[in-house]
Chain A
Amino acid sequence: MKQTLTSVAGALALAITVSTPASAGGLVNSAVNDWTGGAVMCEIVHQILENEMDFKVKRIVMPSGPGRDEAIRAGDLDYGCELWPSYSTTIQKYVTEFGGDGSMLKVADAGVIGVSSYYVPRYMVEGDNAPAPDLKSWENMNQYADLFKTLETGDKGRLLGCPAASWQCEDNKRMELLGLNYEAVELGSEAAHWAEMQAAYKRQEPFIAYAWEPHWIHAALDLVKVELPAHSDDKWPATGWAEDVTFNYANPEFAEKNPEVIELLNNFRLTNEMQAPMILEVDVDGKDMEEVVAAWLDNNEDTWKAWMPK
């Protein structure tokens, strides 16, 4: 019976769907980042494509990483926003600028510049009862290692390192080379990493953790950077991270066929300062991301009008 009902309903619905007008600009499949900053970035492009350029956008949300890059190479996804070069294991294989075969096209810098480092909560370094007032640079880390001791790490301090080995942060190597009495633990997923930090923060417990900016965690928790030695390729990983000049990327065939989309992506720039308030509104105030972006577009017409393809 269910089947009969479904087919009747289906027939009814078909009548409706047939009358939907087709999009003039065509359909694009966009890779939507699963973190707010990157998602905001893409959403701006989507809304411009939909409202101003008559495109229909299919938003496909999946964790970023090699799987998504494979999909862009294969043409299952047309473009993606805000790729962080430090954490991509595939750009050296696919992006020409990084020595790859060109099966993934770097369109242009996205505007966001990423900074990664170790962070501690402000209550640890500031205030009258702050347990580690001098913990602002790596040189003083050993002095406070005792504060971070746990069951699992024994005598060493516990550093919440990069959550996934595939990001190649080499936290433990860094500790060894810098002679720091810490053990970096890997929590497996970003979600676990932030959850651990947030729970410790709520309980005002000491922790030292890897993090980066821009990120919503800084809107939720008041964190202070621990300075690492300036980045150098030769001494890596005994140094801090290089700045991440993020970029937007696309499937080369799609780029050839849709020059106007590529021109938009090419002109598009969203700096850290422009992105941060939107992240705050979505993740801290709990607003709907589409609405936040729509409001931004309303208020910044001059900015995005300049990005439009000529």
Chain B
Amino acid sequence: MRLRNNNAATYHGFDYRKANLTITAAADNSADASINKVPLNKGLVSFRGYNLTIPVFIAIGVLISLAVYSLAANRFPFPQMVIDAFPFADWINDGRVWLEANLKTYTRAVAEVVKVPLEWLEETLWTLPWTVVLLLLVIPALAYGGLKLGLLTFFGVLFWGMVDMWYEAMSTLSLMAVSVAFSAILGVMLGIIASQSDRFDAFIKPILDTMQTMPAFVYLIPAIFFFGVGATPAAMAIIIYALPPAVRLTNLGIRQVPATMVEAAQSFGSSRLQMLFKVKLPQALPSIMLGVNQCIMMGLGLAVLAVFIGGGGLGEQIWKALTRLKVGWAFEGGISIVFMAIIFDRLSYAISGVAKDQTRHVGPLFRLLPQKWDQNSLAKAIERPIGALCDLFNNIGAKLTSLVATPLRFIVPGIANVFSNRPLLIPGLLILIAVYFLATQFKWMNSYPRELEFSIREPIDFAINWLTVNPTFIGITKGIRSIVFLYFLDPLDSFLTGLPWWYVMGLLGLIVWKSTTMRFAVVTTTFLVFLAAAGLWEISMFTLAGTSVSVAICMLLGVPLGILAAYFKPVDSVLRPILDAMQTLPAFVYLIPALFFFGGNKTTAVIATVIYAIPPVIRLTTLGLRQLPTEVNEVAGSFGSGPLQTLLKVKLPMASPSIMLGLNQAVVFALAMQAITPLVAGLGLGKEVYDAMSTADMGKGLTAGIGIVLLTILLDRLTQGWTQNQQKALGL
């Protein structure tokens, strides 16, 4: 199973994606072995050199299904008797009542451990002068990420004040800091255990899979019963929700330490514990930090949804705006979250040291502009004073550091190292203290001055309003909506729900068997029987139809966009920040505009899902094409192939494993979105989860949540199987 929140991959190029791919491989090694046997690339049917086996099978399958549909549509509902005998949701609720009666005192006691630091930090951040908080974030950003990250952090933090959400941002910041700290510590500990014991690893893996695919809402319902409402229960839910990536990546990092290194350490006679803490853990640090980074991104996602249990902060602002249809207000809150996500993401990435640029530059080092412009004279002219200023500050910093560190060395031996490796530490502290005391004198430094507020609500509201009434635009949206509904969604909905349940189960089992393994086909069928017995058959089919249509649209739009971005740099540089924002902007924010434009119906839910799930398709298509060796062009060209031919016949097939991975990601993302789309009339399992959230019905929520988990695991493995088959067919 792959990490659901893939934002990190967006910012830093290859390392993250590789890590993700490795996780996939590591997590699914069980399936790997047997996939070799799948005889998909034999080519039973071929035409002019194209292998048509799969298309022919698909065509036959569709024809048979249509025949079955015309004969047996809606005549085979799943037997009610079985559903009545399997009141799964009631069992969960009974269990919940029992657990609540017996465990509540303990869960509350655990929550106290989180409550104390959380309340302290929130109070602290609220009372600290805003300039001090700003510096607390900007100085580490400067120290670890350089001028660019420093400036980004500066504007991000300033933005919270600009849009008058300073205190809300502080609440979310403290919620995030405390819950991620707990989650990361717990996750790393569990990861270490998992790396040392294969048994524990095997035990925890399916749990982590389930946790990562369970809709976020499902975590909030038990939180009400066991931890109450407010920020502390929200923190508890985040700690649990954000745990899996930290566990997984710690485990992975430790297990991937090169054998030669382990052997070397063994030959020096290190004990098992020494080996773990002195050799393996330091080696695994980049991977662990990546886990912490993912943990942060997942945590932020839930921090917004936590408004459903009174979590407060920016999520509350966005929710209030949403219920009052104030789009501009919601966007301000959403962009505040995006800034927080980017700052956290890049800062943790920078601190982890993974980002250290190893390449040597020939020309002058650029601090603000892209290094690749270093031949451009205008860029050089801009960079020169910046570089001089930075050097000046660094020199002053170094002088100050040695001034303070020299006498300290006599008091605390070894402290000199701490300072000399961190030239900004001493000056940073001095500036902080200075600002702190200045803030007691100057009001504008203490609380964010109103004169500096700069709301972007009105232009956003104006633009949205203009589009809502613009006849051309609404004509287009209505056209899209009709096409999607009439030709995709509605037929597939009635087709899937109308087919006899036993036929769908058999067909899916067959597809899974052919694409992966017999064992997983059996597992799949068991999943499906569970769904049907829990009374979720029809709505599962709705979800399947909605997800399939969303993913199909993602592919239809995403692959061409990805190709464009791979061929044309400007397209890529325009797309990149948009995709970043699409993935970090809380979905709440764009649901209302989507409704204004497309109206409340199933199609709007599909469109919202596409917005959320399309970025990985675009990214991985671009990546797949870019990764191809440059010789491909030359070789194809020497055979007289034009650019279009090269793309269609050589490059796309070669990039297809990466594109298939994009498909897989789109599936996982689309299913993750299912619990959010009910806010705009989405149907299916997600609606059950959402309804359960608003009625605090844990049984219903968990059952439907399990339904989503099962569908995700099923589609994830299936698309992974396709990716691997494709790789195999290409001999990769």
Contact = CB atoms under 8 A, between A and B. Distances in A.
Interface of A: 1-2, 4-6, 8-10, 12-14, 16-17, 29, 31, 34-36, 58, 60-63, 65-71, 74, 76-77, 89, 150-152, 160, 164-166, 185-196, 198-200, 202-203, 216, 283
A302 B1 CA distance: 65
B90 to A, nearest CB: 16
A185 B696 contact: no
Given A29-B230, A60-B310, A166-B691, A10 B124 contact: yes
Nearest to B330: A191
Contacts of A191: 322-323, 325, 591-592, 679
B665 to A, nearest CB: 26
Contact of A9 (B229, B323, B432): B432
B595 interface: yes
Max chain B Cβ within 10 angstroms of own Cβ: one of A17, A63, A70, A191: A191
A152 B485 CA distance: 8
Contacts of B127: 13, 16-17
A188 B682 contact: yes
B139 A5 contact: yes
B697 interface: yes
A151 B485 contact: yes
14 contacts: A5-B429, A10-B121, A12-B436, A13-B123, A36-B324, A66-B694, A67-B309, A71-B229, A76-B230, A150-B601, A152-B601, A188-B678, A196-B595, A202-B468
Nearest to A194: B325
B228 interface: yes
Nearest to B139: A5
Contact of A8 (B230, B429, B693, B695): B429
B673 to A, nearest CB: 14
A35 B602 CA distance: 26
Interface in B209-237: 221, 224-225, 228-230
Contact of A34 (B323, B351, B428, B490): B323
A199 B468 contact: yes
Nearest to A189: B679
B468 A203 contact: yes
Contacts of B490: 152
Instruction: Determine chain A's interface SS by DSSP, over half rule.
Output: helix
Nearest to B227: A76
Contacts of B139: 5
B58 to A, nearest CB: 28
Contact of A1 (B143, B323, B592): B143
A67 B691 CA distance: 11
Given A9-B132, A60-B310, 6 more contacts: A5-B136, A63-B694, A76-B229, A151-B486, A190-B323, A216-B324
Given A61-B312, A62-B310, A188-B678, A195 B595 contact: yes
* Interface pairs A-B: 6 shortest CB-CB: A76-B228, A67-B696, A60-B310, A62-B310, A187-B600, A13-B124
A115 to B, nearest CB: 20
A189 B474 contact: no
A192 B681 contact: yes
Contacts of A70: 224-225, 696
Given A1-B143, A195-B596, A9 B136 contact: yes
B128 interface: yes
B8 interface: no
Interface string B684-696: 0001001101111
Nearest to A89: B695
B538 interface: no
B339 interface: no
Contacts of A195: 325, 592, 595-596, 600
B124 A67 contact: no
Given A66-B696, A191-B592, A61 B600 contact: no
B320 interface: yes
Given A13-B127, A199-B599, A5 B432 contact: yes
A63 B318 CA distance: 13
Nearest to B220: A67
Given A60-B310, A194-B325, A186 B681 contact: yes
A204 B310 CA distance: 37
Given A60-B229, A185-B601, A202-B465, A65 B696 contact: yes
Contacts of B687: 188
Given A14-B124, A17-B123, A192-B681, A5 B428 contact: yes
A17 B204 CA distance: 43
